Homo-oligomer: A and B are copies of this chain.
Amino acid sequence: MNPKDIPGTESCSSSVFVHNPHLEEMNDDILYHFGFGTRTHNLPAMFGDVKFVCVGGSPWRMKSFTEYIAAELRLEDPKAEYPNICAGTDRYAMYKVGPVLSVSHGMGIPSIAIMLHELIKLLHHACCTNVTIFRIGTSGGIGLEPGTVVVTKQSLDATFLPKFEQVILGKTVVRNTDLDPSLAEELLHCSKELDQFETMAGNTMCTLDFYEGQARLDGAFCSYSVKDKQEYLNRASEAGVCNIEMESSVFAAMCKLSGLRAAVVCVTLLDRLKGDQLNVSPEVLHSYQHRPQILVGHYIKKQLKKKALCS
């Protein structure tokens, strides 16, 4: 059924903005990489109540976040099984508990960009309003104790500039990578309340490659010296870069364009000034990866409590 045919949804005014006049002319919109379509799925019924979206690279981590947030919010039986809503495809995994949607995005800018195009259209078709979105991820730190959580102030490219370059019809268009400063501030405040691990605000460098693109010495190819690497990372540090990952710039740019309040919350798994290899034990890795979930979970819980008090 087309959501346009569902009584009461004809005039829904979504606060999630698509900027595409061609969409209006389409009878059906197939969100191919999610395995949904506006004719085959009642998106307002499935997703209309979504207020928080959490995205991260790994499908397992996004499932575990859903189990965690369900228990935290006491919304559902924490022992319940949460099915992958995108079970018809293996490109992304998606889970939902109450107003919280959790979606995996794979690794790198192109992979998260495909997901965000379809997520933004999904939220728009579902007539969602007042949505806040978080990327909860992992990263390499610069000069930070491993396990430190970084809330991104600005996402910078590999030349330390706060911009994202999108190629459209073969031409480069520069997009702004600003994130919501008040949301970042609230997250830092949440971390103080929790008092469980170090959290800081800083710039995040977003690269197109994990090895040569992040000055690692342990890729299949490396044409630079230890000194070259150190100099590059020192320059990054001087530009305020606290951590390095591979998705924040396009995430910031696309969320800004679509009017979504957005934050990037990444834990650092190692200090890149001291090494390149990820050799922490699975237990330590697991506890580090859980930290952005705890922080964002605390924020969501507070917001829902506030809303319950006011209503």
Contact = CB atoms under 8 A, between A and B. Distances in A.
A278 B32 contact: yes
Contacts of A167: 158, 207-209, 212-213
Interface in A20-34: 20-23, 26, 28-30, 32-33
A308 interface: no
Contacts of A145: none
A232 B22 contact: no
Contact of A110 (B18, B59, B117, B208): B208
A59 B220 contact: no
A213 B121 contact: no
A220 B20 contact: yes
A224 B22 CA distance: 10
Interface string A276-293: 011100100000000000
Contacts of A118: 220
Contacts of A19: 220-223
Given A158-B170, A169-B224, A169-B228, A30 B106 contact: no
Interface string A256-271: 0110000000000000
Contacts of A211: 113-114, 117
A120 interface: yes
A51 interface: no
Contacts of A58: 90-91
Contacts of A282: 88
Interface size class of A (residues with CB under 8 A): 35 or more
A254 interface: yes
User: Chain A's interface: helix, strand, loop or mixed, by majority?
Assistant: loop
Interface string A59-97: 110000000000000000000000000001011000000
Nearest to A278: B32
A232 B159 contact: no
Contacts of A28: 277, 279
Nearest to A93: B90
Interface string A6-24: 0000000000001111110
Interface-centre pick from A213, A217, A219 (highest chain B CB count, 10 A): A219
A156 to B, nearest CB: 10
B107 A114 contact: yes
A120 B170 CA distance: 31
Of all A-B residue pairs in the complex, the 9 with the closest CB atoms, nearest first, are A108-B110, A120-B220, A20-B222, A22-B217, A32-B278, A169-B232, A106-B106, A107-B111, A117-B219
7 contacts: A19-B220, A21-B222, A22-B226, A28-B277, A109-B110, A111-B111, A121-B219
